[in-house]
Chains A and B, each alone.
Chain A
């Protein structure tokens, strides 16, 4: 070091430095610094003679260190290092003192600037003496590349890069490649058809073996560095496999249509669709946004939205088939389900939910009436394992059905003579006709299920005997029975009966008739059912409820029905004693109640009113109050734990109990619940038992569990294309036709008679098709190559590549923001891409220009600069609008009789052939008005004769205010950065310019690179541009990348951190601080180690290391202290 010979070279940079800094003085001063052998100043050090000066001095004077005082090292550090290297001096023995950006450019005082320059030079000279030679190393470069965005830029770059024969991953967010250009009709100024020039490229790129098209894909994360990136890509499910032949049969049967985003929402397409005829890949795709809430709310995961949509299309047979596929007790559900689907139905946010249950009943009734046989799904291969199911209620029957379909040998044990559990014993026939239940049980029996009645668990059979008899698994679905005791005096009297016992007796036909006068106590469904059943048996019935109508848990409609049929309801009345004579009931003493504050359940607590007691004479008292499972036999037998309302403990996810071969579900586990909830348990249990019997772990269930969700209430529309709830046209719910109250009270026939076909279709058409695809599975049914896969899920892939090109394009400015133009408010105001689709022969109107009312417009106004060149939105010029506006004018003149008015500020026709095109369009008779349109309003008064809309502006060339009547307005909306540009910026650690577009490395000299090595940009993501510029930039970027591929390696700056193992205490502080995850902990040696290939030399770890064990090459403590000393020495 002490023998270092330093040469100092002070650059004038023309007048850039010399005008502010006395460069000669600086050089003279430098010569006086220690170890400086020579100091010179020169006009342009970066020039050839300047560099040669240094090289000669190195050779002649034997310089061992060089300081160049010039511009920023960003600019010419590499130049001077290379010059030194060529003269045989290691480039890292050269130091730059920045006296331009850090000095001359920012100061005006010559004297002070000169002093500062001296200090900077002294610092550099002092520091450079401590430099040591460093060597650049090389890492291999992965020749694979990724292109994000498959518009014209991405496609062009992919075609170029494909020529290298290396892998190219083309990632596209949409279901097809082609981007915005695919939507255009003609291209200016040559008027070639956009599709004609683009689609051959799209096909070509899909045919290249080494180009991997990843559609419906988005980048989620990037790790690694230049030459060795790993990009995590999420490929969203297409729900259609590669087997698709694009025959289009699926789209013909799809019942859901939504506005087509490809046609800018002017046309329609089905939920399963292909974006446009020439889409690449040539395959269909299903749009699934959120799953329909009705389906999610159903414990069976029944495709409610699916069959509703089919009914809406008069496909009743298909609807019934779809229901039956998943639901063995479909007719039962059509009658007695609590329909949680309707509670979640988004139509309920408009006015009333869709009558899903009534529609289900309709579909099945229709199938029965028309003799349609609804085949169950195919039975899987026979399994020899025997399974016992205790209880033939809804849980047991569904479990039996599902297990039988999986091939198991299933036996159902029922204690009563009637099969169906609660469905048979607890629900009166006027709500559920017995023949329907029997028919559905017969279906299950037809699957090979053995159904044994009169077998009581704990008596004829126990777990012991079942196991002995070869049953490999048991499902307990014994349901509930009321055993709740009321401490009411007189309950022991003959003529007092519980609600469900009463219903059972009625249903099994074991009750004596007539009953006499009946009083039913309670307010739940059982109470109302019991009251209505007693009424049908010919008794006068009084229903007592201790709260008011508002608190009654029974369904409102049912209470109304009961009252209409003649049940006398007495609210705010509670029994205090059953009166009797000779052991038989003679009456019920009651007391009036009043409602006090809310109790623990949130309902208002009833309090007796003193002195209000009275007696109701009666012969039968039905106590239809709380119910609880009868688990006495289970507890004795299996030793199952009981917890509060959950009588038997079973895992709610797996339904497995403490004994691995015993499963339990339904009310016996969950406490009193609903039919469909019990069915859901049965389904889950069947899957669990199948897993158990197949020796698989009880995880990864595919059956549905209803999870509490609140999404529907927060979303303001059912899917992204639908109007908001507030804007949805109202359509009231179709009422269920019903028999006259007097007529129906006389027998046990059904109350509701069911929808007519017309009613059903009307009601079904109220469905909002939440989530777009409603899973009716019609596409699946008609697809011959069996390419439809509704169960498909997203795939996340990590793709290793060396370089990445971002070609993510632009989006259009939302013209609603410039409210004065009426976009989204006035019907015939369009934005450019919409008009592009309208005028395209492949578009929604087949190229005819028509107003929303279907008439050809008499005049069209084209408004330039909407959102561009505007301080309120975007300051920049979108560059393409003037020309495409002229193109529109030409096309309108060419194809219609309409007048065209262009409202422009400045006509920008800067490209090849543009000015000529402008002249041509003027010749064709387009009207041009110089003046930005101020507003668009609906025409009134005399102007309305000439157009539906009026454009107001100042014609600035004549200085007059003008009102131009037109029938259609086209807004040239600005091009703006994609909404998620910022997300992408973060992922790829690049920058955005203030306008939001991706920032290029240099606006003139390096427009395709970014400040992050290995990441390039092309097309409109970098700034608004037309197709030729986009293609040129894409090819340019590809050439840059190909250069690197040809080189095959990445130079790595030796300025990196390293850890002196002896000094490292193993504290790991540096491990998490490193922004490049380049530091790992060596467990064997208990020290941290820097992975040299990943280190960027940022120095964060160097500063953070408490032991001072980390050294940054080129930035050692010694060097930095020397630099400071030099700086302060002046």
Chain B
């Protein structure tokens, strides 16, 4: 498991900001504070079906946070590998909502544009959401194109022969189908995004809203105060 933890006696300014942002995210999760009760027992890692592929184990995420190294967490592949099976959360003897915390970390990473090096899993999410935004549904060939555009076309070479065969057999086409009322769906998605918008407290950047739920969408435009109120 990759990078060695930095052993700073004092957090530098950037790390300090990250820590506060992370704590603010964690606060928003019901029972989020339990993270401080972690026993470091490793139940999460042992229960995780994808931990074998992670650079940091779920337990190590919390250990690194404790050690003052949120930066390396955000840059880790781990948060993008989580399959949301919740096995860790169900079994955690300290009651920590591990999966929810991983989501919080993804949001932070997206908001800050932090990406793990040479590990484009995030691009899957971005491409998928873009498809839904523009067509109202997922068009698989375009989704793949979107992914390759983000992750580098070199990756396409490996799957090209199969794509070609699928194309010849008519199993995929390049023509994008779209639902009738894409605009309405977009409205729904915006509304949903707004409902989930959380305001990070006291952050260096002021009260910039960080959207989540619509991963990969363009950052929401600043809204007039009235519009920010969610109608009941």
Contacts and interface: CB of A to CB of B under 8 A. Distances in A.
Contact of B46 (A871, A906, A935): A935
Interface residues of B, number: 22
Contacts of A961: 45-46, 48, 51-52, 57
Contacts of B59: 954, 956
Interface stretch (B35-43, B70-78, B149-157): B35-43
Given A959-B1, A959-B57, A959-B60, A871 B43 contact: no
Nearest to B37: A871
Given A865-B93, A871-B92, A956-B59, A935 B47 contact: yes
A272 interface: no
B45 A932 contact: no
Interface in B8-62: 34, 39-48, 51-52, 57, 59-60
B46 A931 contact: yes
B213 interface: no
B94 interface: yes
Interface in B99-147: none
B187 interface: no
A934 B42 contact: yes
A397 to B, nearest CB: 68
Contact of A956 (B34, B41, B94): B41
Nearest to A818: B91
Contacts of B40: 905, 956
A1118 B100 CA distance: 62
Contact of A932 (B34, B42, B52, B95): B42
Given A871-B93, A961-B57, A905 B39 contact: yes
A934 B46 contact: yes
Contacts of B1: 959
A959 B56 CA distance: 9
A933 interface: yes
B47 A956 contact: no
Contacts of B60: 959
23 contacts: A820-B47, A870-B93, A871-B94, A872-B91, A872-B93, A872-B95, A905-B40, A930-B42, A931-B43, A931-B46, A932-B41, A934-B42, A934-B44, A934-B45, A935-B46, A935-B91, A953-B42, A953-B43, A954-B44, A956-B42, A956-B59, A959-B57, A961-B52
Contacts of B46: 931-935, 952-954, 961
Interface string A933-971: 111000000000000000011111001010000000000
Nearest to B34: A871
A865 B40 CA distance: 14
A931 B43 CA distance: 7
Interface of B: 1, 34, 39-48, 51-52, 57, 59-60, 91-95
A933 B46 CA distance: 7
Given A931-B46, A961-B48, 9 more contacts: A869-B39, A905-B41, A930-B42, A933-B43, A933-B46, A934-B44, A954-B46, A956-B42, A961-B46
Interface in A407-426: none
Nearest to A957: B42
Contact of A954 (B39, B57, B93, B95): B57
A796 B193 CA distance: 69
Nearest to A873: B93
Nearest to B60: A959
Interface in A901-945: 905-906, 930-935
Contacts of B92: 871
A961 B49 CA distance: 10
Contact of A955 (B42, B43, B52): B42
A959 B40 CA distance: 11
Interface in A613-666: none
Nearest to A874: B93
Nearest to A959: B1
10 closest A-B pairs by CB:
A934-B46, A954-B42, A871-B95, A954-B45, A932-B41, A870-B93, A931-B42, A934-B47, A953-B46, A956-B42
A955 B48 CA distance: 14
B20 to A, nearest CB: 26
Contacts of A905: 39-41
A816 to B, nearest CB: 15
Given A932-B43, A956-B41, A961-B45, A869 B57 contact: no
Contacts of A872: 91, 93, 95
Interface in A844-875: 865, 869-872
Interface string A562-587: 00000000000000000000000000
A955 B40 CA distance: 10
Nearest to A953: B46
Contacts of A865: 41, 93
B91 A934 contact: yes
Nearest to B92: A871
A906 B93 CA distance: 13
Nearest to B1: A959
Contacts of B41: 865, 905, 931-932, 956
Contacts of A952: 46-47
A545 B123 CA distance: 81
A869 B93 contact: yes
Which among A871, A905, A934, A959 has the highest number of chain B CB atoms within 10 Å? A934
A570 to B, nearest CB: 67
Contacts of B48: 961
A813 to B, nearest CB: 13
B35 to A, nearest CB: 13
Interface in A953-1003: 953-956, 959, 961
Contacts of A959: 1, 57, 60
Contact of B51 (A869, A870, A954): A954
Contacts of B57: 954, 959, 961
Contacts of A932: 39, 41-43, 46, 93
A689 to B, nearest CB: 70
Contacts of B52: 961
Nearest to B87: A934
Interface string A721-759: 000000000000000000000000000000000000000
A441 B34 CA distance: 82
B26 to A, nearest CB: 17
A952 B46 CA distance: 6
A365 to B, nearest CB: 62
A870 B45 CA distance: 16
Which among A871, A931, A953, A956 has the highest number of chain B CB atoms within 10 Å? A956
A959 B45 CA distance: 9
Contacts of B43: 931-934, 953-954
A473 B172 CA distance: 101
Nearest to B51: A961
Contacts of A930: 42
A756 B177 CA distance: 78
Nearest to A934: B46
B90 to A, nearest CB: 8
B89 to A, nearest CB: 11
A931 B94 CA distance: 14
A935 B51 CA distance: 14
A847 to B, nearest CB: 33
Nearest to A868: B93
A935 B48 CA distance: 10
A953 B59 CA distance: 12
Contacts of A956: 40-42, 45, 59
A871 B37 CA distance: 10
A1126 B15 CA distance: 59
Contact of B91 (A820, A906, A931): A820
A956 B42 CA distance: 6
Contacts of A869: 39, 93
A961 B53 CA distance: 10
Contacts of A933: 43, 46
Nearest to B40: A956
A953 B43 CA distance: 7
Nearest to B47: A934
A976 to B, nearest CB: 15
